[in-house]
Amino acid sequence: MIISGLNFPSTKITVKTLAKPDSYCLQPFPSTKITVKTLAKPPSYGTINSGIPDKQGMVNYTKFYRDPKLLRALPKYLSEKFPNGAQIYCYACSDGSEPYTLAIEMMEQKINKFFPLQCFDLSRERIDEVKQGIINIFNKEIQTRPALNKYFKEQKYGTTYASIFNTYNPTDELKEKITAQEANILEDIEKEGKFEKPAVVMFRNAWYLLSPPYTSKDQRPALAKALYDRLKHGSLLILGRSEFSGSTDFMIEKAGFKPVKKEEFKYPEFNNYFVYEKP
């Protein structure tokens, strides 16, 4: 299997195939050798991008409007919870898809007291792209989401990957709503003066990359405890769906965070698990 444009090392494996398409007989199957492209090394937990590898060959995935009901409900909820505003930190921001989505929803709902959103990622290449205002958007997304057409402009001579997605630039209005910086969440949250006031920390669909086989030991409990110790009372921690397939949610609750349940009727989009609060 060769994926066009991706320059990864190859691994040869042997696959058993059927003797013939309609055969159900119990007999040894012939073997076929194929070549499969593999990652140069395990992906960085900070690199959650749109399927395009950076120079280190680190690939994972993000997208606009991932968990759309949650991202559409957040602006109003945050505005009610933090009437004077609060700083929002988006870790593992990758190419900016999620913070851009949240920023767009805030602008559409005329909620401007949380800007700029502060975004961080381990990949310098992804951060450079965010700073330059370069992003690759799947054609299907740009065609079906009017907000993306409103806030992004296609590069006339942008890079095209297999006609699946093209290169776009955020409008100046949108670009100024976020800042981008290369950073490791484990180190960044320990900086002096980081969380002097209640804050919102978004670290979504990336916790699993803090555990084996991506790391030598499981760093998730230490991060959950550090966040709980550092954040002020009333601060929020926002997770993604992948956090609920590897017991990360239990580690977060064990550290002391509580799932937002008091708004269950008013904000059913939270499903009682995306949003956690430090009581």
All domains in the chain, ordered by first residue: 1-38 (no CATH), 68-277 (3.40.50.150)
Give me the residue label for tokens 């991706």. 6
Q: What are phi and psi of 79, to 5 degrees?
A: -65, -40
* 200 vs 279: CA distance, rounded Å: 13
* 201 vs 188: CA distance, rounded Å: 12
* 275 vs 266: CA distance, rounded Å: 14
* 65 vs 137: CA distance, rounded Å: 12
Residue positions counted in the chain: 279
Residues near 186 by beta carbon (within 8 Å), at least 6 away in sequence: 219, 222, 223, 226
Q: Which residues of the chain have pLDDT under 50?
A: 1-29, 31-60, 158, 160-162
Largest CA distance in the chain: 72
pLDDT for res 189: 95
Q: What are phi and psi of 276, to 5 degrees?
A: -120, 150
* 182 vs 200: CA distance, rounded Å: 19
In tens, the pLDDT along 18-49 reads: 444 443 334 444 544 444 333 333 333 332 23
